[in-house]
Chains A and B, each alone.
Chain A
Amino acid sequence: MFDLLSLFFLFVIFIVSLPALIYSFSYLKGEYSAKQIFLAQVLLCVFILSMALVVTVTNLIAFLVSWEIMSLVSYLLVVSDGRNEKSVKAGMIYIVMTHIGTAFIIAAFLIMYKYANSFDFIVIKSISSTIPANTKNIIFLLLFFGFATKAGVVPMHIWLPYAHPQAPSHVSSIMSGVMIKTAIYGMIRFIMAILGVTSPSWGILIMIFAVISCLTGVIYALMVKDIKQVLAYSSIENIGIILLGLGLSMVFISFKFYYLAVFSLIASFYHLLNHAIFKGLLFLCAGGVYKATETRNIEKMGGLIKKMPQTALFCLIGAMAISALPPLNGFVSEWMTLQAFFLGAFNASGTMKLFLGICASMLALTGGLAAACFVRLFGITFLAKPRSNHANNAKEVSFSMRFAMFFLACLTIVFGIFAAKITGIISKIAAETAGVDATSMKFPFDSLSLTRGAGIWQISVPLLAFMLAVFTIAGFVIYRMFGAGQRIYKTWDCGYYKLGQRNEYTATAFSKPFRIAFNFFLLPYRRMNKIRESFYHVKTFAYETHTVPVFKRYIYSPFVIWVFKSAKFMRRIQPGSIHLYLGYIFVTLLALIIFVHKI
């Protein structure tokens, strides 16, 4: 089926996979043998193909098959450098979680098949109105939890921060750029297009989960030291934002505000597209930095902007885009989502206004925290003095990697400035998925802001970008005109001791205020011990802190322990005495005979 929704997702898949492929040629050259490289490339192509299949297939079974292939191949890619034990563990968690998700999806498909007794999407769509309300809710819940596990929505996000960092960078850029989006595609296709949204409670549920995953994702992104884990957590946050837009459009559809539903769907699709681009870019930069410094711990890096200027520039563009700074594409989609909230609030009734208000403010909070997180990431990795000799003698990465990054960076800028035309196309897609004819609707694409008062100029991205450009030049001219020259000298070190690279602010230090502000959720652990030469002189000072992985500690570990405990308890069924075994047979026989008329 090649309707607009599938074409859009195909576009998203290929726009991220292409640079990743180019990137992978030189990225893998280093530590793998020729055969392994070939295998990795083949797996990559199969992975991209399976994602393309997932998005275009029209039959439930074919969907499940390609879904399975996608999960398995991505598992293989995650554990591709099987040498270190962490990647095997990450792969294990990943494969278990995806299969739990697929189990939910299969359950939902079976119920749908029961009503439609055919596997084809169109047939199911045609009979979807006959499905009774509460079964529809059950199907929705199953589908949502199934796809949410794959998309990394919060309670089920546990695998994402483990799986993505372990995979090679170009693979994790595709995985977090696009693979998560196939789960979103699944949600849109099955819940909106096929099942049809009836009650607003669905949208509200999705929005609640989205807000939680936004906040958790961004707070953990602030706390983590591994560069790729930061990006993985920020993918959770961006998935939250996309789901926020999606939930909003579902709420509007159930309230029959079709104009707003299409608008928020545009915002969500556009953010999905932008996130695929700038997250892919950031992962490629992370890969470049990993290749240059052989480490992923940002506290060991620093000063890379002088050694790797181009990667630094591209990473800066990516960081600006993801923290929604004006001229770039991240800003446009987040700006549109916020506006969707405002317009929604204007039309919605009573408590809905308050709920939308809270969601909008949480979204703004996430935006602020995301900006903080990426300032920290960019600042600590690229700026100031290098903190380890690896970082010291880092060299610029090869041309094909830089070209891939350049391609994606240009895309972020292009998608930012020419947002108006692109949203024009996306509005058709959104209209078709929401099942509404949007020909009558006029979205003020040029201005991208919807106001009550007509006739007043509205700010639009190209106008904003133009103004910023003009004023930067003006500022530069002023800067050039005045002043009496420059002098290069050491950084200010209060005058008496030589400022080393150990005085710089590290990532943990940068996130300290956030750790204290959100300690009710992060439960930070802190240990300090001072070895004192004498009462006054402290010889050495050890400081250790980490945050408690709340979900893992309080939800997943107890569950896993319980499962194994009950399995051990199960072993007592087989104690070895033959009398007991015969007793089992006799008891089953007796039970069956007694209850025979019930069966």
Chain B
Amino acid sequence: MLLAFAQTILFIAIAPLLSGLISKIKNNVRMRKGASVFQPYYNLIKLFSKEEVISDTASWIFKITPVVVFASVLAATILISDFLSLNSAGNFLALIFIFALGRFFMTLAALDTGSSFGGMGSSREMFISSLVEPVLCLTVFAYFLNGHALSFCSVISAIALFLVTLAETSRIPVDNQETHLELTMIHEAMLLEYSGKSLGLIELSSHLKQMILFYVIAWIVVPVNFSEFLFLGHIAVIIAIVIAVALVEVALAKMRLFRVTDFLGFAFVLGMLSVVCGMLGA
């Protein structure tokens, strides 16, 4: 129990570091110095000390959403920690549903303020997440079929999951994190109305969510249990994923929203492929 608790604290600590690392690598690749790796931490600290502005049309849902999102992400970290390990299908599935809870409240809060940015962000977020769910389910299916061994099937499901994480954590090909141009932002549009500590909480949860997804990919690829202290393999895979994400962000441009269906369709086909391999015992 205690180990699991220590893990969650560790995850919370490392999560912002990952995003900082990704932006650092991106800037280096673009031959720019860029902000320091710990920039996300500074942002969070600043946000938690600032005053919060709440719109008059917002209802109590707007106020409780940051808390609910944070709670759901924390529950997810507990889920993937050693306390409830991932190798049972129930836990893996519960992960998908917990993310759905966080997203549900986030989209409601976006609609609550009555601005068209919020509406646009929530509609697109729901659109993408509903296309993501089958792929997630397929990867869980393949993983569960294939068992906890490194094989061709688990590699393909890891790639499918990687594409899905790009969509989930609003990375470049699907959605641009940094921009505030209303046409391109999805995840950002929902947070637009937030400020101060609620924005801080939500930023922290999105970092954490990103961390969890990277860890899940690592979990599928490296078939070792967290507690055997061989999790160095996990860290290596996570760093590889970070580099991969940064490179993807630099190389590709944001796709038109309705090309995302083909992008996630491709991920779905990969998932199917992994299920077929799992079935044939490859």
Contact = CB atoms under 8 A, between A and B. Distances in A.
A334 B94 CA distance: 11
B279 A354 contact: yes
Given A354-B279, A456-B85, A488-B56, A467 B75 contact: yes
Contact of B118 (A360, A467, A505): A505
Contact of B126 (A371, A486, A489): A371
Interface stretch (B27-35, B170-178, B245-253, B269-277): B269-277
B67 A476 contact: yes
A372 interface: yes
Contacts of A358: 272
Interface stretch (B18-26, B197-205, B211-219, B228-236): B197-205
6 contacts: A371-B103, A371-B126, A450-B89, A483-B49, A491-B55, A509-B119
B83 interface: yes
A306 B268 contact: no
A478 to B, nearest CB: 7
A479 B66 contact: yes
Main secondary structure of the interface of B (DSSP, over half): helix
Interface residues of A, number: 91
A36 interface: no
B59 A354 contact: no
B90 A505 contact: no
Contact of B71 (A360, A371, A468, A516): A468
A338 B137 contact: yes
Interface of A: 303, 305-306, 312, 316, 320, 323-326, 331, 334-335, 338-339, 341-343, 345-346, 350, 353-354, 357-358, 360-365, 367-369, 371-372, 375-376, 378-380, 382-385, 447-453, 456-459, 464, 467-468, 471-472, 474-476, 478-479, 482-493, 499, 501, 503-505, 509-514, 516-517
Interface residues of B, number: 91
Contacts of B142: 357
Given A339-B89, A491-B55, 11 more contacts: A303-B57, A306-B59, A350-B279, A354-B272, A375-B108, A458-B91, A471-B72, A476-B67, A483-B49, A483-B52, A492-B115
A509 B119 CA distance: 8
Interface of B: 48-61, 66-68, 70-72, 74-75, 78-79, 83-85, 87-91, 93-94, 96-98, 100-101, 103-104, 107-108, 111-120, 122-124, 126-127, 129-138, 140-142, 144-145, 147, 192-193, 196-198, 200-201, 257-258, 261, 268, 271-272, 275-276, 278-279
A479 B198 contact: yes
Nearest to B257: A513
Nearest to B91: A459
Which of A305, A338, A379, A499 gathers most chain B CB within 10 Å? A379
A163 B233 CA distance: 59
Contact of A458 (B61, B84, B116, B134): B84
Contacts of B192: 492
Contacts of B117: 492
Which of A334, A341, A360, A459 gathers most chain B CB within 10 Å? A459
